[in-house]
Structure 1
């Protein structure tokens, strides 16, 4: 499989991640500090919109599979692109101080989540059907996640720069996102390797999620590992600004984290070829756990120490992004409709974000107030402790399963067609 084709496949990962970071990291801070919306209200809106987003994913996955079989996926991808672009623009153009600000936030998020989820599920399912060779799947995942990390790095730096340059910085940010999104969808539809559609495809057998031990443990580990990341992502900007007293450095810390993840991707893919994807993922989780364990001991001004934590947890991030989807594709029978299962996969990922959103009302109840000195005790405990606990449980699930499931044989993929 040519590198140019894999790059075209992975290109859509850039704008999807470019949108995802502001959605999950910057929205709470932007709507509380810039627009004055109360933390309990933001937390409630995030929880219910993320919950809706979570519940829709399996249905979107079934829809993607059906459209792919009928060769109608291209038109649906273009419609999802328009929904995502329109919702993203309105999200950052909210009227500050409006009594309808919570409604504006809710409707914008629902629109964005619908378009983003459809595109993301379709992209992951497409990548799992490029080839019967697990090494090709790992390369495709590395390109997708590498482009995604480039998008995240851009999204972590540009808002700060653009807002300092102009009060309309987020409008410029949204326009740039629209251009990247159109380019990504266009490259996927015209230059990427075709989705190898199985004509023997059947309805998903959801019972595999609890009957097959390898699949059930993988899903549980993925959920717990994702919950650790979601908690850290939701609370990181508050921790940096109010506990470390380093708000001007927030963009740099995020850039270090995601740049380290991008740099580490080829290494994790190479390691997975030597010792297997599951063993490589265990190594990454161990690295992240050891690095993040010391975050609770930091205090105001500990910028170098926190930078090193961002570096080492970022190095582990590459494995978190590239390897679990490959494990899922390898452990599922070839007759299973992949988009439906990646809808469940996406459901689990987003459920972690919805649960993490509940920490904001909890922090308010525990007397944390953004920007108020001396109120960060609960923030430190939740930010430093919960991710480590979740990561440890996920690692335990994967350690108990000492070997990878054998990948699907090439003969298992039935007669195939072209690009949907």
Structure 2
């Protein structure tokens, strides 16, 4: 591979795959529970336990998938296999064959397929991006640019994934399954096109990277990497703070604000604000470093989102402002942890296993957020019940507390995370 700095269009082509990955992730994490509750009359508590179990099972495989990618050096094949399985699993989620299987059993199977495929695809994709700066003569600049393109396209995918499925779910019940089938088909086509762009137009995977050693050696390498270890706890806490509102957003908008028809608008504005803020965070990171920007994003998120715990029916304008502020903070959450991880991986270490651990923590946070549904049921909240104090506390107050804890642990970790971005070459 040439050492020339990748051109902007190559980095844009690399980032394109982030769009369908995000399009698939948001409906699965945010809207599946509401879909099965509305479409198949499944109980809230059982839905929460099914989602928790599927997500927890998924978390266990990520480091293994990362190690296999490093060990076998089959990045292109991993991407292709993951894309095929993801397209099939995502379509299956919205088309439960109720005459053959119980909806909860079908949901469990499709969640496992979809989560596993998404993991395989995403880990290989992140590992590919982490090596861009190793191929260039301009140090870490390609890494920041690739991250910005990836997260920017991803935010566009989140906007699509937040608005279109939310709009579909607001339609009459008889129309929902067919419209989600059309959405799944469009998703599959887009996934294939963006994967083709990655394989043919993006900077190539470096062919000189040696296969990873035995998994015991990989674990020893990661344990000895102080910067990597100090990144894990704040990342987990922060991921939990982001996952909780994502899981409960539709319930909060519908019952606390009594503004269900505006759900797509609220979610869309949140991700549009994140997309607008991402270039700002990237520029600030080039000047002040990724760590400082991540801290700033956490502070902005706490300041913006805390007020959601105090809102009630009809407070749509105030909630819209909260969505804009919290969305602007999201850009830092999306980009900066991956940049910090990339700069912490030594050049001799294979990267996919590291990203496997980081995605494991992200999915563990999602699994734990699924427990919010049975927790709310235990506290007496049921969907359709308005003005119940448990919903705003779990939706808003608890995530702000987790953000504060993440900020404090990140402050303690700063001595080993403060070095400026460097090339791993």
Structure 1 length as normaliser, TM-score? 0.93
Q: Deviations over 1:50-81 (max 9, x none)?
A: 0111001001101111332xxx4323322221
1:391 to 389, 394, 403: 403
How far apart, in 2, do the equivalents of 1:210 and 1:380 lie? Answer: 39
Residue 173 of structure 1 deviates from its aligned partner by: 0.6
How far apart, in 1, do the equivalents of 2:207 and 2:101 lie? Answer: 49
How far apart, in 2, do the equivalents of 1:276 and 1:201 lie? Answer: 31
Residue 218 of structure 1 deviates from its aligned partner by: 1.3
1:110 to 112, 118, 136: 112
Q: Does the CA contact (< 8 Å) of 1:282 and 1:395 recur in 2?
A: yes
Q: Does the CA contact (< 8 Å) of 1:162 and 1:170 recur in 2?
A: yes
2:323 to 310, 332, 353: 310
How far apart, in 1, do the equivalents of 2:191 and 2:143 lie? Answer: 23
Moved over 6 A (4+): none
- Equivalences for 1:19-418 in 2 at 5 Å? 19-68=24-73, 72-95=74-97, 100-132=102-134, 133-162=139-168, 164=171, 166-167=175-176, 168-200=178-210, 202-203=212-213, 205-207=218-220, 209=222, 211-374=224-387, 376-402=388-414, 404-406=417-419, 410=423, 413=425
Q: Deviations over 1:91-113 (max 9, x none)?
A: 00124698611110011111111
How far apart, in 2, do the equivalents of 1:244 and 1:60 lie? Answer: 41
Residue 207 of structure 1 deviates from its aligned partner by: 4.3
Residue 131 of structure 1 deviates from its aligned partner by: 1.5
Cα 1:384–1:190 shift into 2, 3 Å:
same
How far apart, in 2, do the equivalents of 1:162 and 1:237 lie? Answer: 13
How far apart, in 1, do the equivalents of 2:226 and 2:81 lie? Answer: 38
How far apart, in 2, do the equivalents of 1:393 and 1:242 lie? Answer: 28
Q: How many residue pairs were aligned?
A: 408
How far apart, in 2, do the equivalents of 1:262 and 1:97 lie? Answer: 42
Residue 18 of structure 1 deviates from its aligned partner by: 0.2
| Alignment correspondent of 1:417 | none
Q: Deviations over 1:14-59 (max 9, x none)?
A: 0010000001000111111222111111111101110111001001
How far apart, in 1, do the equivalents of 2:318 and 2:221 lie? Answer: 44
Q: Does the CA contact (< 8 Å) of 2:252 and 2:395 recur in 1?
A: yes
Please identify, of 205-214 and 325-334, the stretch whose mean Cα deviation from structure 2 is larger.
205-214
**RMSD after superposition:** 1.9
Q: Does the CA contact (< 8 Å) of 1:201 and 1:335 recur in 2?
A: no
Cα 1:354–1:97 shift into 2, 3 Å:
farther
Residue 258 of structure 1 deviates from its aligned partner by: 0.6
How far apart, in 1, do the equivalents of 2:58 and 2:211 lie? Answer: 26
Structure 2 gap ranges (5+) = 1-5
Structure 2 counterpart SS, 1:320: helix
Structure 2 counterpart SS, 1:206: helix
How far apart, in 2, do the equivalents of 1:57 and 1:108 lie? Answer: 17
Residue 312 of structure 1 deviates from its aligned partner by: 0.5
How far apart, in 2, do the equivalents of 1:239 and 1:398 lie? Answer: 29
Residue 359 of structure 1 deviates from its aligned partner by: 1.2
